Structure 1
Amino acid sequence: MKKVIDKAESRGRALYDWLDSHHTFSFDTYYNPRRMNFGALRVLNDDRVEAGKGFGTHPHKNMEIISIPLKGKLKHGDSNKNSRTITIGDIQTMSAGTGIYHSEMNGSDTEPVEFLQIWVMPEKLNTPPAYRDYDIRPFLRKNELALIVSPDGDAPAKMLQQTWFSIGEIEAGKKIGYHMHQSHAGV
């Protein structure tokens, strides 16, 4: 497997009065032809949204989206009448499929929200749109990686792509191992 290292300070950035977003791949006004995607992974943004602000209602189609709060409250709403607020220890997944309108807003009027926004290109196009949120706290252990998303139901969340996501809080200097779930030839 080819080793790719992109330092955090080399990411793109969008800075607005309500949003500070760091982009791993080309997104918004950041364009880098070398960083369009990594396999099926299309977007990996680290977003900070000011209190009471957010991404108003907008469309998505044929994309698998996961949001992971790192601080604060993240409020989701969509055209399928889903409305939830999640916080640290929760994740949400959305299959945009044939098309869905949604919003991602800061769920607090006083504190910022920070979250990872991840988009994955689906294995199959034009599936029915779907939204789910999950409490991953029971799976989290200090100095361990917890599988939180998989394509086969081995994790709390499922995506319509051969992708696995793990999360963990690892102490500085601590080493852990990671098992790849499948061959990544061509990635």
Structure 2
Amino acid sequence: MKKFIIISGIDGSGKTTIINELTKALEVEGKTTKYIWMRFNHYSVKVMNMLARMLRLSVKVHNAFGDVWEHRLYKSRLFCKLYIWCSYFDNKLARSKALKLDADYIICDRWVNDTLIDLGAECRINNILDGKWYVKFQSILPHQSYQFVIIRNKKDILDCRVENTTNPDFPYRFALYERLLQKQEINTIDNSGTIEDSVHQILNIITK
């Protein structure tokens, strides 16, 4: 039976490097793997993003990556409610993409938990991990899913992704990830050491 590895973490935590090394480690052990990036499975949210720009709930700013759009969805509670429903619908549709992949391990990058934290930060909903939406988004995950959150020293994260220093959503995201670590179903991976150590932490859990 295939297993799903759900990797989450704030930008700069080291997710991509860990995923690459985890894939190599599993394949050395003779396991087949497939990787899927789940963040931008936008269907109905595409329309909502267009509306956000028209309503000036998204603004273009300049950071280290150039000109980018930043959400200010919290300015409209009604829009936030609709946006969350659309995000839930889109994530549920995206589930079929992951289920269609055939391998021993399906590595899903930025799915469900990352979406929830994006929504919590952009809509300024500090308790989004404590209510019905957390339960609903968790129900999207397939059976045999292992959820991991990559953590790292805050200074190292800011040094790695300098655009976080000017992103107004960063403090909200950072606080929500810390709260996510308190969930029983979440496995915390400390990436303050070597990448090999972080990968070893994941292997110890999924190969029990």
Fold-level similarity (TM above 0.5): no
Asked which structure has the greater RCO (Cα within 8 Å, sep 6+), the reply is: 2
Larger radius of gyration: 2
More helix, by proportion: 2
More strand, by proportion: 1
